[in-house]
Amino acid sequence: MKHQVPVEKGKTYELQIHTLGTSGEGVGRKDDFTVFVPGALPGETVRAAIDDVKKSYARGHVVEILKASRDRVAPPCPIYADCGGCQLMHMDYMAQLRAKRQQVIDAVTRIGKQKDLNVLPTIGAATPWNYRNKMQFPIGRDKGHTVIGCFAQGSHRIIDTTDCRIQRQGNNDIVNAVRDIVEKLGIPVYHEDRHTGVLRHVVGRVGLDGDMVVLVTATEKLPHERELVKLLRARLPRVLSIHQNIQTYRNNVILGRETRLLWGRPTILDRVGRLKFHISPRSFFQVNSQQAEVLYGKALEFANLTGDETVIDAYCGTGTITLFLAQKARQVYGIEIVKPAIQDAKKNARDNGVKNAEFIVGDATAVMPRLYHQGIRADVVVVDPPRAGCTPVVLETFANMHPDRIVYVSCNPASLARDLAILDGLGYHAEKIQPVDMFPMTSHVESVALIRRKK
């Protein structure tokens, strides 16, 4: 007998919202059937219209809030309802922090089967607004005008943005200058469906000493290049670096492989704690510099270094955590598969006068056994993997090195929970997790887990 779904597309239902989903949407139930409702908050009763029905869940939108949560606030951003950049601006900031902790707890208990793991209260940002040092917005046309901003939720329609409340002011200045200058010079913008036009994206980066503009083009040639640079320099006195990045492929990847410096310095500087970092157009660098210091400080605290340890940083990127750890360790090895990131990491080590960090290009699954065979034993392993987490082979490689502690930095509670369960089977027990709010107003949460070898 076919299972009867209790909701129909296009119809409206009264729902109690119990929790938040991983993308920040309200989660309600109709006769034990899950309905996701973006914009609804836990504790609310809403009337929701159903937009989409699947086998095990449905998605809807709020028609009316019948009973509002005490945590509901008026979002200060005028385009919040349309824009897909933030998901939680309608929620009081302290409530956001509690919800993010709950997201970690739910993942580690449901997916990781860790029943009594200590998940600490989320460390919030001192200022939850205007924190992003990096902006990458698509460029398009709408009603005969150039538009630059975030995509609307679940679509590729660009919402024109003049004052993004989570971007640093320098990035908003870049967006507004580029929009005006593109209009003035009549530079053709990219049309995604037809694969025509020139300008695809504008990338802005705000540094310590000045800012960077990267114009991403679908063509080798950038029309009115000299005039464009001249006008940008006149309009943006803080800009130190202007680049063209060429992305000719018909896909959603923002940056292409080739970057040309049009004017100024090849990199800008930023800092995390005492350390300074050169940032190039394609460098990975945490987008919230202030909270990155908090996050890395926690990783360092959990590593509990005395100065005698050998540490391996298994996904080191441009070496930010590695160099942080090097301040307290005897020797640190940073491993990263992306060659340009390792080149940046070596330069960052030189610039900061760090002599006890060695950077190796390669896959951690191949490099770590090689280090082990060379007689290198890690006292502490630190890992900050991509969203998908670690492969089982990488986790086995960690365990085979018999470190006393593993410090796991994660941007995805679900993959962290899965990996904690695997490590548990390999003789490593998670002791505590510290969530850190790197991305206020959004549904994302970073966390640092301390994992010890079982006695």
First to last CA, the chain: 52
Spatial contact of 195 and 218, defined as CB atoms under 8 Å apart? yes
Over 392-439, what HEC string results?
A: HHHHHHHHHCCCCEEEEEECCHHHHHHHHHHHHHCCEEEEEEEEECCC
H or E element in which residue 321 lies: helix 320-326
164 is catalytic: no
What are the distances in angstroms from CA 143 to CA 146, 147, 148, 155, 340? 9, 9, 13, 18, 41
Describe the chain by its helix, strand, coil percentages, rounded to 5.
25, 35, 40
Strand residue runs (E) in 93-198: 118-119, 134-142, 145-151, 158-160
Q: What are phi and psi of 244, to 5 degrees?
A: -115, 130
The token pair at 331 is: 């020797």
| Given the residues 77, 83, 86, 411, the one annotated as active site | 411
The token pair at 16 is: 């109690």
The token pair at 96 is: 């956001």
Residues forming the active site: 411
